[in-house]
């Protein structure tokens, strides 16, 4: 859990809170009943929001991993494709579970892993790169943002896929929760993004001319 003061961090306070609530209800009578009813109402509203997948603050639980994997498999071929993943914000085993086993997946967590991934582009004849990351760059020195900019300049044929649209509640709360994590205050309307980068494949039949790889265009 990279964000302080969220439910998982404060779960140890729940028994004390329930005891306090019970004490208020029994000691203050009418006021206690009103407070207890209000708290129960808030909890019921939270339960409804949870099952409707609405305003869940930990949006990682709503990441459409199966849809992301299907997007990759539909628009690229394992032989010339590599999938880069923001290892600081994603569990690569989940996406890998939905991906065909023949796809190469590289978890990026440090400058060394990024350098190795960049070097592989020239040694492994890669023509299709997918870069799945959080829109909030939590890497040291905004490493992922720099990698994204470098790839956009070097591979001009690219498409952006966005996932998990943020609600007004998210846009209001997330800047507060991320104050201690990084200095980025921008709030894009989506939580996750996946860049699809493509470059041309030489065509031997026409003397070295190139043809575009499969996939969607901008």
Task: Choose the weakest-confidence range: 59-68, 103-112, 130-139, 191-200.
Answer: 59-68
Q: Which residues contact 59 (CB under 8 A, 6 or more apart)?
A: 164, 166, 170, 191
101-122 pLDDT, tens digit each: 889 999 999 999 999 999 998 8
Query: What are the φ/ψ torsions at residue 56 (nearest 5 degrees)?
Result: -75, 120
What average pLDDT does range 32-36 have in this prediction? Answer: 85
Tell me the DSSP string of 163-180.
EEEPPHHHHHHHHHHTTT
Q: Cα–Cα distance between 169 and 30 in angstroms, integer?
A: 32
25, two tokens: 């209800």
Q: Cα–Cα distance between 44 and 15 in angstroms, integer?
A: 18
pLDDT band at 216 (very low <50, low <70, confident <90, very high): very low
Q: Where are the domains of the chain?
A: 7-51, 59-211
What average pLDDT does range 23-27 have in this prediction? Answer: 84
Query: Any alpha helices (H) in 110-167, and if so which ranges?
Result: 111-123, 143-154
- In this predicted structure, what is the pLDDT of residue 82? 94
| pLDDT > 50? residue 168 | yes
Task: Choose the weakest-confidence range: 34-43, 44-53, 166-175.
Answer: 166-175
């Amino acid at each position: 859990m990279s964000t302080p003061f969220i439910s998982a961090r404060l779960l140890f306070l729940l028994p004390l809170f329930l005891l306090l609530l019970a004490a208020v209800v029994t000691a203050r009578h009418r006021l206690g009943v009103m407070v207890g009813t209000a708290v129960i109402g808030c909890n019921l509203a939270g339960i409804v929001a949870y099952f409707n997948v609405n305003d869940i603050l930990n949006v990682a639980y709503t990441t459409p991993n199966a849809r992301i994997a299907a997007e990759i498999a539909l628009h690229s071929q394992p032989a010339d494709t590599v999938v880069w993943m923001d290892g600081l914000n994603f569990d690569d085993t989940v996406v890998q579970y939905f991906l065909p086993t023949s796809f190469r997946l590289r978890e990026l967590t440090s400058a060394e892993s990024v350098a190795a991934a960049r070097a592989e582009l020239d040694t492994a004849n890669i023509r299709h790169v997918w870069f799945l990351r959080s829109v909030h760059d939590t890497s040291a020195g905004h490493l992922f943002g720099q990698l994204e900019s470098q790839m956009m300049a070097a591979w001009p044929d690219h498409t952006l896929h966005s996932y998990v649209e943020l609600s007004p509640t998210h846009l209001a709360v997330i800047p507060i929760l991320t104050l201690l994590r990084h200095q980025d205050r921008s709030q894009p309307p989506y939580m996750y993004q996946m860049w699809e980068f493509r470059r041309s494949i030489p065509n031997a039949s026409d003397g070295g001319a190139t043809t575009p790889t499969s996939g969607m265009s901008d």
